[in-house]
Structure 1
Amino acid sequence: MAIGILSLLGFQLVDSAFIARLGTAPLAAQSFTFPLSFLIIGVQVGLGIAIAALISRTLGGGDPARARRLGSLVLLTGTILIGGLATGLWVAHRPIFLRLGADEGTLTLIGGYWGPQLLAAWLGAVLYFGYSLFRAHGDTRLPGKLMVLTSLVNLLLDPLLIFGIGPWQGLGLPGAAWATVSAFLTGLTILSSRLRATDWLARHGLVAEARRSALSFAGIAGPAMIGQLMPPLAAMLAISVVATLGETTVAAWGLASRLETVSLMVVLALTMSLPPWLGRCYGAGDWAQVERLMHLAFKVVVIWQLVIGVILAVAAPWVALALSGSPEVRNDLAMLMRFMLPSYALLGICMLVVSAGNALGWPLGAMLMSGVRLFVCYLPCLWLGAQLSGVTGLAAGAAVGNALAGILAWQLYRWGIHSARFRVVE
């Protein structure tokens, strides 16, 4: 999963690097779309969490027939929900981007990019639901391989569709979105053929299963989706703060956001692969194994994020040079990297706790932790830092917010484990 996520997030970073060669304005236009893209991702991840948790618990309880019905239901429901959300975001995109701080020139650039990008987001969500189904059944190899494949397809198509070849001038900014559409269609074609070869889906008994499982699914998916929707809302508020510092800082912030997700690849891999395992332990009441898994995950995350964060912070000027052709954007990006990347060691702890909470029967606690991380720790520190010291304060504020979130999440985890063990003893 880590290899697959590295390739998947790497191609998003490659997208931004190619777009940066078009100029600061196209890169800023793409950066304005990130919060709404994260909104779609938040909904799909929330549904994916519910898929993995419910199916893994059902398999742990020895009921594969119900697991098949659940798999069919969540694939159908998720595809329809994301399609409706993407349609709504297209209809309302102009007033939304104006409220985020985009000017008329930026809106013109966004207009040609946003339609194909929404199509890519919908296809990516359907692909993600398929990945979740495979992970719930213990297969992380196929999702990882398909992430690598789709990344390679996108990498090959990006320069062709953005810049063109020979006399054809290319599509510019929209070309990046069409490359992603093609990559995800390739992945869906392969995933569908592999899924048909399994017995993980059912055609009958879906209505009765929907009535039976609606409350339990909503009990997991509801808080999970709310928790996953908080980051895009916070991203919208953050981009509004960043926009007050100018177009150059917005462009640098967009690149830093891509670097953030690449840096967090191990954390993201664990948040995807660990919950199904934890769900089976939860179904079997094996809390000792839960603690062993979580402690190992914490150690891996802290060590990995500190090492990669320090290396990238030291190499910030050279990484920024590779990603942007604008000296102003490079300077701002290097500053953001130096402060923010090492702080992801503690942010990773918070992300693990939130992900594990949904698998271990603490969906409300996970949702509250997400809210505290973003709206109590992160955004106030971000705003205060920007007010006090511009780009430097912005970067330092984000780092402080991440550190506070990690400390609070660790305390929440210890309380949750203690409470669970106490209930077992009783």
Structure 2
Amino acid sequence: MAAVDIQQRELAITLWRQTWPMAIGVLALLGFQLVDSAFIARLGTAPLAAQSFTFPLSFLIIGIQVGMGIAIAALISRALGAGEEARAKRLSSLVLLAGGVVIGVLVVMLWLLQMPIFRLLGADTTALVYIRAYWGPQLFSAWLGALLYFIYSVFRAHGDTRLPGKMMVLSSLINLGLDPLFIFGIGSWQGWGLPGAAWATAIAFSVGLLFSSIKLKRRQWTTNIAIWQEAVRSWRPFAGIAAPAMISQLMPPLAAMLAIVAVAGLGDAQVAAWGLASRLETLSLMVILAMTMSLPPWLGRCYGAGDWGQIQQLMRLALTVAVIWQLSLGVLLALASPWVAMVLAGNQEVQSELALLIRFLLPSYAALGVCMLVVSAGNALGWPLRAMLLSSARLFICYLPCLWLGTHLFGWIGLAAGAAVGNVLAGIVAWMVLRRILSRPHRQAGFSKSGN
């Protein structure tokens, strides 16, 4: 019994060491995005609403890059667990090259199709004017951010979460320093307004990309040797993980698009409040997001070594931490919702609508965190298809139907309550799925190797 307690304590310490650098990095990265929106809110409700309309498409880019990052981190960590260091270097080079091209093509497509897409999302003429000026620099910064994320994925696959965390903090500090200057100007210069926020982010990501590339080259974790042969060898296992992972990651942007359509029918103040709540959601989930980045490489190495006992202990520990932390934070922010809304929103109507969202949504993120961790673990443990189906069920069976039903019956308060109920249902379903799978680890391991 004492030996088990010692092992659990060692796992907790290791999980903390792996997670806290990423948590600080995620806090810094998402914090500056929230501050971006807070600065933009000072420009008026219309610019903030315009930025809110771009969030689903920005999440689309992030979904593609995260799906690719999940796949490459899983393959690299498994290669390292099997002692194939040369292959891990080839895989690292492949994701940096292919990822840059894929995200680049996506960015160009979103630029060319911007007006039809935003009209379908419900943007009016005023919002389209702001979006047209903002969307170009925002897409450029998104491409730079994707390249940076792929480098972070390589570091995380090798068990190094410190450098990505430090780079996130550095990028965030640069962005925070440039935001007020570029948005509002200084002296006689009036600044760029809404596009200034995107340009500040682009410069911040460029600096982070420069420093991270230098560090990556020094670690010698990439190679130019036999990359094409590795691409031929690895495209099937990569696609087997990346395709379901990307579909899983694309579900939230699609759901966000459908949600913003529902919100757009309620008014500009509601759209602006929903956009701020979306930023606050990602910031409040910083510990969960950090664990979804630090845990999969660790689980992947255990998977490669066939250590299902440690996998079970890791998942129990991670879910316990997630629920306790997220529920405590959610209740605290719900109690402080009027003051949080006052800090984030300049308009009194937006403040009122945002406070309502905070009270309903923030506590429900404890259940959402459970679902996010289970989906993330699934991609690392050889059942990406199940992870994809779970992600789909969360959004299209639990979340969106509850949100739309609540909106139809009770308007804004129904939307907030429906979204919260959907999150709770998703967490319950994810927990049931995980319990079923981990109760049969040996059967699951054989099933995964045979093709999910």
**Bucket of the pairwise TM-score, normalised by the shorter protein:** over 0.9
Where 1:197 maps in the other structure, the secondary structure is helix
Counterparts of 1:312-391 in structure 2, within 5 Å, are 312-391=333-412
Where 2:24 maps in the other structure, the secondary structure is helix
1:31 to 48, 52, 60: 52
Shift of 1:199: 1.7
**Contact persistence 2:437–2:444 (CA under 8 A):** no
**Partner of residue 103, structure 1:** 124
How many Å separate the matches in 2 of 1:335 and 1:283? 46
**Partner of residue 278, structure 2:** 257
How many Å separate the matches in 2 of 1:322 and 1:172? 20
How many Å separate the matches in 2 of 1:338 and 1:384? 19
**TM-score between both structures, scaled by the size of structure 2:** 0.93
Counterparts of 1:56-75 in structure 2, within 5 Å, are 56-75=77-96
Match status 1:5 vs 2:26: yes
Counterparts of 1:182-331 in structure 2, within 5 Å, are 182-331=203-352
Shift of 1:205: 0.4
How many Å separate the matches in 1 of 2:304 and 2:445? 13
Shift of 1:295: 0.6
1:410 to 425, 431, 435: 431
Deviations 1:252-302 (A, max 9, x none): 000000000010000000000000000000000100100111111001100
- Aligned residue pairs: how many? 426
Gap regions ≥5 residues in structure 2: 1-21, 448-452
Deviations 1:163-206 (A, max 9, x none): 00001000000000000000000100101111110121110101
**Closer, same or farther: CA 326–288 of 1 in aligned 2, 3 Å:** same
The code of the aligned residue for 2:193 comes to: G
The code of the aligned residue for 1:40 comes to: I
How many Å separate the matches in 2 of 1:40 and 1:136? 21
**Partner of residue 40, structure 1:** 61
Deviations 1:20-43 (A, max 9, x none): 000000000000000000000000
Shift of 1:244: 1.0
Where 2:219 maps in the other structure, the secondary structure is coil
**Partner of residue 15, structure 2:** none
How many Å separate the matches in 2 of 1:399 and 1:422? 35
Match status 1:141 vs 2:168: no
The code of the aligned residue for 2:345 comes to: S
**Closer, same or farther: CA 130–425 of 1 in aligned 2, 3 Å:** closer
* Alignment RMSD (CA, Å): 1.0
Shift of 1:419: 3.0
How many Å separate the matches in 2 of 1:336 and 1:390? 12
2:419 to 398, 401, 408: 398
**Partner of residue 6, structure 2:** none
Shift of 1:80: 0.3
**Consecutive aligned runs of 4 or more in structure 1 exceeding 2 Å deviation:** 418-426
How many Å separate the matches in 2 of 1:235 and 1:424? 34
Where 1:211 maps in the other structure, the secondary structure is helix
**Closer, same or farther: CA 145–384 of 1 in aligned 2, 3 Å:** same
Gap regions ≥5 residues in structure 1: none
The code of the aligned residue for 1:89 comes to: L
**Partner of residue 158, structure 1:** 179
**Closer, same or farther: CA 423–356 of 1 in aligned 2, 3 Å:** closer
How many Å separate the matches in 1 of 2:354 and 2:124? 22
